[in-house]
Amino acid sequence: MRNRINQFSPDADMSYYRRIQILRERKLEDTKDKASYWSFADGDDYGAITPPEDYKFEPIPNHENGSFYGYEGWSRNFYKLMSEHPIHIDPCDAFANRWMNCLSWIRHENGINQFNPDYSYDHLRPEQEKYGIVSGIGSDAHFGGDYSIGLSLGWGGLLEKLEHYRKINPEHNEFYDAEVLTIKGIQVWMERTVREIEKAIEIETHPVLRENLEQMRECNEYLINGAPRTLREACQWICWFNMASREYNRDGAGCQLDEILRPYYERDLEAGIITPDEAKYYIACLLLNDPHYYQLGGLSPDGKDMVSYFSYMILEAADWLDSSCNITVRVHDGMDMDFLRKAVYYLFKNKNGWPRFSGDKALSEGFMKKGYPASLARQRVAVGCHWMSLPGLEYTLNDCVKINCAKVFRLSLDEMMAGEGEKSTKALFEIYRKHMRRAVEVTAEGIRFHLKYQVYNEPELMLNLISHGPVEKGLDIVDGGAMYYNMCIDGTGIATVADSFAALEQRIEKEKRLTWEEMYEVLSSNFQGMDGEYIRRMLASSERYGGGNTLADRWAVRINEHFTEDVNSMDGDGVKFIPGWFSWSNTITLGKAVKATPNGRRDYEPINHGANPHPGFRKDGALTAMSNTICSVQPGYGNTAPIQLELDPGMARDEEGIQKVCDYILTIFDQGATLLNINIINADEILAANENPDLYPDLVVRVTGFTAYFCLLTPEFRQLVVDRIIKAS
Amino acid sequence: MITNIQRFSLNDGPGIRTTVFFKGCNLSCKWCHNPETLSLTPQLLVYPDKCMGCGACMQVCPKGALQVVEGKITLDRKLCDNCGKCTGVCFSGTLEMAGTEMSVSDMMWEIEQDIPYYNRSGGGVTLSGGEVLLQPELARELLKACKEKGIHTAIETNLCYDFGVLEYLAPYLDLIMADIKVYDNDLHKEMTGQGNDLIFDNVRRLDELDIPYILRTPVIPGVNDNEKEISALSRLAGEGKNLLYYELLNFNPLGGSKYDGLDMENHFYEARPLPEARLENLKNIALQNCSSVRVG
């Protein structure tokens, strides 16, 4: 943890913009520190910084296995974490503190992150293993809260609310005790922070920074109990919630940022206590504090465009910061086209992988097919890697549950080849369908298990506070506190499977270049030898997923249709299941569970990334062909199968170029796409960065749904990103 | 005979387009970045670095033109008749055929997949190459098929051909993009194999077709990247009534590997695109003669 106090001479330029520049440079230093400290690579960039070297958190166990569980375990440990948490003050920053660790990671580092052993799901494990299911059991966060609850009440108001409902639900005292202790912990951290700010004021000699520290102190002293009144206070409160929630369990879901903050700005403007640059400074500092996921624009529940001048200001603030950021622009018919063009302009200007873009039409219409009205569907905002959430209303396990369809495929192929029956893609598909159906059933069972027992494992003490229901009912959001349970089940490896079916159909059945037995022998040997490699390349150059109405594209449509049908059929008992296609950064780990596949993939190599094709899917790598394919495999019920693109910086060097990119974006969302992630990078740059990542400390890439500093990714994952970009170029 | 259908083309006309590359050209510009489109007949491209030495191609070559030497394929072009049988068994990308006979319906099957993008962006289909005018029947049939589907059509042409062919295509054309490469006739002959008299005559007749057009100059280092050339060319461009704009296209160094693949000499293999400032300078010169000038 670096000392940032009194680092400038009293006459140094400290305009708002200059302060953001300094903070940006400091973030690069922090990123470098994290590279050597962090044990969790291949994940998001965070606003976290490294703690002091002598800092170590010792958890308080409440179980004989040395771990802690349930309301009591988590609240006590969170309170301890907050009480001991180091304080970081940067006089250039509008806001106090940074987060540095989280209880979920602490449990992992200490080897105590097992699901509460008092509740066993051993009966599910064999089939979870068989089908490569990432069950989601014990996963946390991954749904969005409603920030307006916390902003309207403040921590003091939340405590009052808890006491109010405790009287109504006395049987849930354990819940209320835990929630009260959680807030108390945050308040202790805030109080300690205010003391540190006071010390910093004594030391800081730059008059502007000293004044900033005074305001910081005043703001935070008030916010210990008070509800935010100004834009600065609102942003600082959001920072506190975000930091505390990250510290609790890495929650990174944000909100509809423009509409949440705009009223505060307008009140400040009316009161004559803010300027636009000051507002941008606050927004930039908020974005710096942590790259939580925020949405801009979209439709209000009654169908009006939510883009406002404040939405533009947020983009401008993000441009000032020029760092990693997870802003999503919601695209819809009749949207402010200048805003879309501005968003695309910043995407190409800063090359940080933001904004990304979500498609209102497919998302809303899809979610409505699960029985929800349009007004609700429009509120389901982009607040996660590849996911949407109804603020404070639903529990989802988004991005936590994966079925390894490539593994299901391979075991189906093994079964067919071992049997006496027909050898054909028709027969193979029937076996695959049978196993996929069972995999979905097992997955749904696992989710139901999680819903039943997760409260005894890890309650959602932070997100409960800004959800509608838990406090009112005295029940954790997992345990009946939520309004809706819309559980996400993602398939992975769609391209791996589709390409494999297509290769078998083309090379064996149509062209008769080899037999089933020859193929299987070569596959089982992992394509050994010259003959094996020849056949591997033959299979790999079959008609590919993403090529544009190819054999593999048609297989993918069938695979998706059945997967979607299977997932939807699991609905019942107040729980709905929503399918998607997304691997997050599990592309490598999921691949390690699968031996060679007939698409030419060798043993344990990565499966395809999300819903994207395997690299080299088409000679010209045409975006439109790939996009059409991904549009055709959208499950269509409100969750996403994102498109991940790499675009050359030269593509939008003028207004005409920007317009063409906008036209592309509008067209794909018309065609049913749900989410679009874009990296602006060229092949030379990424190759050089892969060679010497340390020389590119500020290279940010959107990896899957999240942004990360390239230098912080593991070499294996960097190579995955490089391969995708090189082939695309 | 075409070489390629390229989707999501952003630099071959307005909007998002699909570009169909025709094979065969009556010029042989020394800087051409699509050398595989020059010859009218199919050609085999060979990339030995990709070869895995399996020898499958040798087994099917009826002419014995292929040999694996030290683990890599070599081709004797004197023996090779470009039949393409070897490409059917090569899956490493070592052997690639440039030029394929493709029916209009097959081309349209590919083209129609991007209709939503054309509609949204004001894009469409561009016929390029090579030189489109050398295959007038194919060009007309393809353009007509596009128009029947409501697709915007454009061609990129060197205009070094009978103007009557342009008139033949005109009923199905929405836009013409034509190159005016070098003003000095002798230099034009030296650099492209033909003089520019016919080309410039055709430029001056373009207004007769009543179709909007764009005139473009590929700016080639050491050839026409000077005031004299650009001034003269832009003056010619500025004479047009239906000219949408005159465009200076920066030298494109891509295509080097294709020269290697064809065993052809790449006269500009060391050349690099002009710096932006230089192009801006030339643009300002052109603006003295032409009201609308772009840089691409």
The predicted-structure confidence for A342-391, as pLDDT tens digits, reads as follows: 999 999 999 999 999 999 999 999 999 999 999 999 999 999 999 999 99
User: What is the distance between the alpha carbons of residues A676 and A704, in angstroms, rounded to a whole number?
Assistant: 10
Chain A residues with beta carbon closer than 8 angstroms to that of B12: none
Between A173-203 and A147-168, two packed helices, what is the crossing angle to 10 degrees? Answer: 140
Q: Given pLDDT bands bounded at 50, 70 and 90, which one contains residue A46?
A: confident
Contact B54 A670 (CB under 8 A): no
Measured in whole angstroms, the distance separating CA A527 from the mean position of its chain's CA atoms is 36
Sign of CA dihedral B89, B91, B92, B95: positive
Chain A residues with beta carbon closer than 8 angstroms to that of B10: 651, 657, 660
Identify the pLDDT of residue A19. Answer: 98
The b-or-e profile of A390-406 (16+ CB within 10 A means b, else e) is bbbbbbbbbbbbbbbbb
For chain A, percent of residues with pLDDT exceeding 90: 86
Identify the pLDDT of residue B47. Answer: 93
Q: Given pLDDT bands bounded at 50, 70 and 90, which one contains residue A43?
A: low
Contact B4 A624 (CB under 8 A): no
Identify the pLDDT of residue A651. Answer: 87
Chain segment A273-331, per-residue pLDDT in tens: 999 999 999 999 999 999 999 999 999 999 999 999 999 999 999 999 999 999 999 99
Identify the pLDDT of residue A231. Answer: 98
Identify the pLDDT of residue A1. Answer: 81
Chain segment B168-222, per-residue pLDDT in tens: 999 999 999 999 999 999 999 999 999 999 999 999 999 999 999 999 999 999 9
Give CATH 3.20.20.70 domain extents, chain B.
Answer: 2-39+100-295
pLDDT at A729 over 70: no
The b-or-e profile of A64-87 (16+ CB within 10 A means b, else e) is eeebbbbbbbbbbbbbbbbeebbb
Identify the pLDDT of residue A621. Answer: 73
Asked which of A100-114, A220-234, A624-638, A679-693 is least confident by mean pLDDT, the reply is A679-693
User: What is the distance between the alpha carbons of residues A664 and A645, in angstroms, rounded to a whole number?
Assistant: 12
Give CATH 3.30.70.20 domain extents, chain B.
Answer: 44-97
Identify the pLDDT of residue A716. Answer: 79
Chain A residues with beta carbon closer than 8 angstroms to that of B123: 663
Identify the pLDDT of residue A697. Answer: 72
Closest residue in B to A623 (Cα) is B8
Chain segment A654-668, per-residue pLDDT in tens: 899 999 999 999 999
Q: Given pLDDT bands bounded at 50, 70 and 90, which one contains residue B254?
A: confident
Decide the pairing of beta strands B213-219 and B175-179.
parallel
- ω into residue A136 within 30 of 0, thus cis? no
pLDDT at A558 over 80: yes
Chain B residues with beta carbon closer than 8 angstroms to that of A684: none
Residue B272: other Cβ atoms inside 10 A: 10
User: What is the distance between the alpha carbons of residues B98 and B15, in angstroms, rounded to a whole number?
Assistant: 27
pLDDT at A695 over 90: no
β-partners of residue A548 are none
Q: Given pLDDT bands bounded at 50, 70 and 90, which one contains residue A38?
A: low
Q: Given pLDDT bands bounded at 50, 70 and 90, which one contains residue B255?
A: confident
User: Is A492 in contact with A481 (CB distance < 8 Å)?
Assistant: no
pLDDT at A728 over 70: no
Here the ipTM equals 0.94
CATH topology of domain B2-39+100-295: TIM Barrel (3.20.20)
Identify the pLDDT of residue A484. Answer: 98
Token reading at A108: 């992992």
User: What is the distance between the alpha carbons of residues A143 and A391, in angstroms, rounded to a whole number?
Assistant: 8
Q: What is the DSSP letter of A458?
A: -
- Compare B226 and A726 and report the one with higher pLDDT: B226
pLDDT at A163 over 70: yes
- B52 → closest Cβ in A533, A549, A666: A533
Token reading at A103: 């209880």
How many A/B residue pairs have CB atoms within 8 Å? 68
Q: Given pLDDT bands bounded at 50, 70 and 90, which one contains residue A34?
A: confident
User: What is the distance between the alpha carbons of residues A342 and A17, in angstroms, rounded to a whole number?
Assistant: 20
* Closest C-alpha among A617, A663, A668 to residue A643: A668
Chain segment A113-142, per-residue pLDDT in tens: 999 999 999 999 999 999 999 999 999 999
Identify the pLDDT of residue A673. Answer: 98
Q: Given pLDDT bands bounded at 50, 70 and 90, which one contains residue A401?
A: very high
Chain segment B83-135, per-residue pLDDT in tens: 999 999 999 999 999 999 999 999 999 999 999 999 999 999 999 999 999 99
Identify the pLDDT of residue B183. Answer: 97
- A671 → closest Cβ in B56, B116, B121: B116
For chain A, percent of residues with pLDDT exceeding 70: 98
Closest residue in B to A550 (Cα) is B110
Average pLDDT of the segment spanning A521-543: 97
Q: Which of A667, A671, A684 to mutate to test the interface with B (most CBs of B within 10 A)?
A: A667
Identify the pLDDT of residue A7. Answer: 95
Q: Which of A663, A665, A669, A678 to mutate to test the interface with B (most CBs of B within 10 A)?
A: A663
Whether chain B has a CB inside 8 Å of the CB on A682: the answer is no
- Compare A9 and A688 and report the one with higher pLDDT: A9
Q: What is the mean pLDDT of chain A?
A: 95
User: Is A612 in contact with A595 (CB distance < 8 Å)?
Assistant: no
Give alpha helix (H) positions in A131-172: 147-168
Identify the pLDDT of residue A523. Answer: 98
Identify the pLDDT of residue A572. Answer: 97
User: What is the distance between the alpha carbons of residues B52 and A540, in angstroms, rounded to a whole number?
Assistant: 15
Q: Does domain B44-97 have CATH number 3.40.109.10?
A: no
Identify the pLDDT of residue A681. Answer: 85
Angle at CA A138, nearest 5°, toward A137 and A141?
A: 110
Type and span of the H or E element at A465: helix A461-465
DSSP states of A7-56: -S-TTS---HHHHHHHHHHHHHHHHHHHHHH-S--SS---S--PPPTT--
Identify the pLDDT of residue A620. Answer: 79
Instruction: Show the 3-state SS of A379-390.
Output: CCEECCCCCEEC
pLDDT at A40 over 60: no
Whether chain B has a CB inside 8 Å of the CB on A533: the answer is yes
Q: Which of B19, B54, B89, B91 to mutate to test the interface with A (most CBs of A within 10 A)?
A: B91
* Min distance B10 CA to chain A CA atoms (Å): 8
pLDDT at A688 over 90: no
Average pLDDT of the segment spanning B284-295: 95
- Compare B34 and A88 and report the one with higher pLDDT: A88
First and final C-alpha spacing in chain A: 40
* Closest C-alpha among A199, A341, A369, A659 to residue B16: A659
Q: Which residues contact A8 (CB under 8 A, 6 or more apart)?
A: A14, A206, A209
Average pLDDT of the segment spanning A76-85: 97
Identify the pLDDT of residue A41. Answer: 58
- ω into residue A606 within 30 of 0, thus cis? no
Whether chain B has a CB inside 8 Å of the CB on A537: the answer is yes
Chain segment B11-20, per-residue pLDDT in tens: 999 999 999 9
pLDDT at A42 over 70: no
pLDDT at A705 over 80: no
Q: How many CA atoms lie within 13 A of B248 on its CB side?
A: 33
Q: Given pLDDT bands bounded at 50, 70 and 90, which one contains residue B24?
A: very high
Q: Given pLDDT bands bounded at 50, 70 and 90, which one contains residue A39?
A: low
Average pLDDT of the segment spanning A401-415: 98
Contact B120 A537 (CB under 8 A): no
Q: Given pLDDT bands bounded at 50, 70 and 90, which one contains residue B151?
A: very high
pLDDT at B68 over 80: yes
Put residue A138 in one of left, alpha, beta given phi > 0 → left and psi -120 to 50 → alpha: left
Average pLDDT of the segment spanning A5-17: 96
Q: Given pLDDT bands bounded at 50, 70 and 90, which one contains residue B256?
A: confident
Whether chain B has a CB inside 8 Å of the CB on A667: the answer is yes
Closest residue in A to B71 (Cα) is A530
